[in-house]
Structure 1
Amino acid sequence: MLEGIIVKSTGSWYTVRTESGEYSCRIKGKFRLDGVKLTNPVAVGDNVGIEIEDEGERTGTIREILPRRNYILRQSPRKKHYMHLMVANIDQALLIVTIREPELKPGFIDRFLLTTEPHDIPVIIVFNKTDLYSIEDISVLERLEEVYSGIGYKTLRTSTVTGEGIDHLKRLLVDKTTAVNGQSGVGKSSLINAIQPGKELKIGDLSDYTGKGQHTTTFAEMYTLHFEMDNDKDRQGNAWIIDTPGLKTLGFNNLEVQDVAHNFREFFEHSHSCKFRDCTHRNEPGCAVKKAIETGEISMIRYENYLMILDNIEEQNYWERHKDF
């Protein structure tokens, strides 16, 4: 039995990197995560034990999944009663968004943060393509930066055209394993190429017809980057990037209303002062969260997104959401 780390997923085959080199492996046996049905039992970043089948062909079988320190889970886009394991064992997540091309979907940032907050995964919110922003876009950007930096998330502006923020991004990535996420078309691959020119990841163009980004990354893959720091050839940096497929939607058939409330971090802090322990921060009397919104301590943007997520969850029939778990 060899131990290694999954560095690429292609659905049925997984590339596992070991001290003896890389092996293409399949899975035998059933693996579950806290009783939740998964479309994929393992993900890039997982540490696994493999049994070699053919040394010459460099193939093997994944027999064991070692304990995870964290993971990012999302509702499967194809099987609504299943969950999809995106990545595992990361130091941080990079959420790349844009105000323009494509336009930022209302609530998208907060929906993504619901996938990382349960495991205390640090998130860097990157506002990319700033060279395209109008004066009105900059105003929106400044407001969003104020909201998210105010509750403890790092924010960064970047542009592969002007070079804005690229060196800063390198410093944030060095010596860390980072999952790179975002809607299709936001420029994930372009940013990675800018950090280490010549990496030659696929770069997707926006669809002229729909205005929506096309999926260019089909499966998750881990890349090792080597780059110079701040244009100083004597300062070298290494980073491990997990590039993931572009996200179109994020559903939460695995969450209940209280799960959402507990994972909006500033809501949770104020909820200790709510009159009712199970307060959902909607119409209950004595709600400390709503009081904090009135005083400006909690952003109305976040609160509106919170309500929208609760509505989406409650729209899903309870039995439909639970019958396969």
Structure 2
Amino acid sequence: MPEGRIIKSLSGFYYVLHDGQVTQCRGRGVFRKKKVTPLVGDNVVFQAENKLEGYILEIKERKNELVRPPISNVDQALLVFSAIEPDFSTMLLDRFLVLVESNHIEPIICISKVDLLSQQQKQEIEQYAEEYRKIGYEVILTSTVTEKGMEQIQPLFEDRVTVIAGQSGVGKSSLLNTLKPELELKTNDISMSLGRGKHTTRHVELISFGEGLVADTPGFSSLEFLTLEVEELTDCFPEMSRLSEQCKFRGCLHVKEPKCAVKEAYEQKEIPSYRYEHYLQFIEEIKQRKPRY
């Protein structure tokens, strides 16, 4: 039986890429009985008489999966955050980073619309970029108007499955259109009354970029930490994870414990204050989470 990857899911049909050809498939009833839903990104075994009448027989083991957007087997996430319109938010970026890190997906930070910045605003954004680079993240400043940073992004897609994610209105579709104009993805300007963009991407679809695949997604409709436990949060902050080995107590949460290396680094301003403050806020949020049954 042939094996392929689901690249689109729409109206109960799954579109499977195999040897450069796409076959329209349905899921077997056995998946519904097992309460397993095929996801975009799944590697599957299928059978088909023709390109329009295929059936998915088996879903291979996933290395990771996201719930919203529903996609699996992702290698990296390009997190697109605008420098302005809407304004850059370290809180929102850190929330995205934690969600991505907790799913063992490599994050890349893209700060868009830098052509709209004043000189002072540009200095502030470059300061943030440098702080995140110091943590170990790749940060790329971009503009679809001047095409700044495009030459850095294009090679990142090769041989990898990439999710592009971020707030509405930050320019995700514009970015993809600039890199691959034939896509002609719909874009919307920011609503000035609401201060946010309108959703223009309605479904998850993997798009071929050279030898790689890129997911244009509707964005993360939920940014809650639904499954992350308090003890796992440190691992989602790389700079804290590295320091935690120097803490006096194993399993230190870096909140009230004595001789905590993370708190010492924060007090010495070796960790940006907003990163530690967001960490404390996320700890509290997870503790307050209602049990799921």
After TM superposition, give the deviation of residue 314 of structure 1 in Å.
2.1
Q: Deviations over 1:239-279 (max 9, x none)?
A: 42111112355111101111112221121111122222222
2:157–2:209 Cα contact (<8 Å) kept: no
Select 1:190's aligned residue among 174, 179, 188.
174
Q: Deviations over 1:61-107 (max 9, x none)?
A: 32211122x3342xxxxxxxxx4463322332211111211123442
Larger fraction in helix: 2
**Secondary structure of the residue that 1:185 maps to in structure 2?**
coil
Letter of the 2:247 counterpart: C
Select 1:43's aligned residue among 12, 34, 39.
39
Asked whether 1:266 is paired with 2:250, we answer: no
* 2: CA distance, partners of 1:282 / 1:88: 34
* 2: CA distance, partners of 1:58 / 1:146: 50
Match of 1:96 in 2: 80
1:42–1:85 Cα contact (<8 Å) kept: no
* 2: CA distance, partners of 1:166 / 1:84: 27
After TM superposition, give the deviation of residue 215 of structure 1 in Å.
1.1
Match of 2:153 in 1: 169
Letter of the 2:114 counterpart: T
TM-score by length of 2: 0.90
- Mark the CA change 1:248 to 1:12 in structure 2 (over 3 Å): closer, same or farther: same
* 1: CA distance, partners of 2:152 / 2:74: 20
Letter of the 1:3 counterpart: E
* 2: CA distance, partners of 1:103 / 1:29: 47
Identity among equivalent positions (%) equals 39
After TM superposition, give the deviation of residue 309 of structure 1 in Å.
1.4
Letter of the 2:5 counterpart: I
* 2: CA distance, partners of 1:47 / 1:188: 26
- Mark the CA change 1:276 to 1:196 in structure 2 (over 3 Å): closer, same or farther: same
Match of 2:55 in 1: 61
1:2–1:50 Cα contact (<8 Å) kept: yes
**Secondary structure of the residue that 2:183 maps to in structure 1?**
coil
- Mark the CA change 1:217 to 1:130 in structure 2 (over 3 Å): closer, same or farther: same
Letter of the 1:299 counterpart: P
* 1: CA distance, partners of 2:65 / 2:197: 22
* 2: CA distance, partners of 1:130 / 1:178: 23
Letter of the 1:26 counterpart: R
After TM superposition, give the deviation of residue 160 of structure 1 in Å.
0.8
1:184–1:248 Cα contact (<8 Å) kept: no
* 1: CA distance, partners of 2:33 / 2:134: 37
* 2: CA distance, partners of 1:72 / 1:113: 15
After TM superposition, give the deviation of residue 184 of structure 1 in Å.
0.8
Q: Deviations over 1:31-61 (max 9, x none)?
A: 899xxx9xx8332221011233xx3561333
**Secondary structure of the residue that 2:38 maps to in structure 1?**
coil
Match of 1:257 in 2: 230
* Ranges in structure 1 where 5+ consecutive residues have no aligned partner: 74-82, 227-237
**Secondary structure of the residue that 1:123 maps to in structure 2?**
strand
TM-score by length of 1: 0.81
* 2: CA distance, partners of 1:72 / 1:110: 20
Match of 2:208 in 1: 224
2:233–2:283 Cα contact (<8 Å) kept: yes
Select 2:143's aligned residue among 144, 150, 159.
159
1:107–1:305 Cα contact (<8 Å) kept: yes
Say how many residue pairs are matched.
292
- Mark the CA change 1:121 to 1:135 in structure 2 (over 3 Å): closer, same or farther: same
* 1: CA distance, partners of 2:267 / 2:129: 20
Match of 2:134 in 1: 150
2:99–2:225 Cα contact (<8 Å) kept: no
- Mark the CA change 1:42 to 1:112 in structure 2 (over 3 Å): closer, same or farther: farther
Match of 1:78 in 2: none
* 2: CA distance, partners of 1:89 / 1:119: 10
